[in-house]
Amino acid sequence: MSKPAILNKIFWTAGTAGALFVCFLLCRHIFYELHGNKDWAFAMFIVGLTAIFISAFFGAKKVMVCTAAGYVVSFIAGIVFNHEYDFIVDGVLQDRRYTAWQIWTVAFLVLIFTGIVWEFIGKRIRKQKITLTVQ
């Protein structure tokens, strides 16, 4: 692998990981009052960082972008579509439950998967263009 290719890979990895980190800081500290769960924001950050590093290994830039953007987009979806309900056992109110973290998780994983599909489709289209121009 050439030096410019390695630098390009490092640039993309650091850039998307940095963007993910900024989104994490915003969601965990600035918007804490909206969701009230610092642990889940960190767990989602670790999942996103893992996805970015695995994507960097395979050179999947679209997955990296979808992961970084998906963190904040899925957080917003979780807050917007949140549903609060009472958890009642034997007629006694035990707790108030929220669905924001579930929506956040599912939306984040769907967006990462969307990046994977986008990457495969893009590589397949490029491969077809190359074979068409060679013939």
Angle at the Cα of 43 (from 108 to 31), degrees rounded to 5? Answer: 75
Q: What is the average pLDDT across 24-37?
A: 78
Residue 121 scores a pLDDT above 80 = yes
Identify the pLDDT of residue 132. 61
Identify the pLDDT of residue 126. 81
The C-alpha atoms of residue 115 and residue 104 are separated, in whole angstroms, by 17
The predicted-structure confidence for 93-112, as pLDDT tens digits, reads as follows 666 667 788 898 999 999 99
Identify the pLDDT of residue 57. 92
Which residue do the tokens 């109110």 mark? 93
**DSSP structure class, residue 85:** E
What are phi and psi for residue 88, nearest 5 degrees?
A: -115, 130
pTM for the model = 0.82
Residue type, 39: D
CA nearest to 104, candidates 18, 50, 24, 30 = 24
* Better-predicted residue by pLDDT, 99 or 21: 21
The C-alpha atoms of residue 94 and residue 87 are separated, in whole angstroms, by 6
Do the Cβ atoms of 41 and 35 come closer than 8 Å? Answer: yes
Strand partners, 89: 92
Instruction: Please give the mean pLDDT across all residues of the chain.
Output: 86
Identify the pLDDT of residue 117. 95
Residue 32 scores a pLDDT above 80 = no
Q: How confident is the model at residue 128 (pLDDT cuts 50, 70, 90)?
A: confident
Q: What is the average pLDDT across 58-68?
A: 93
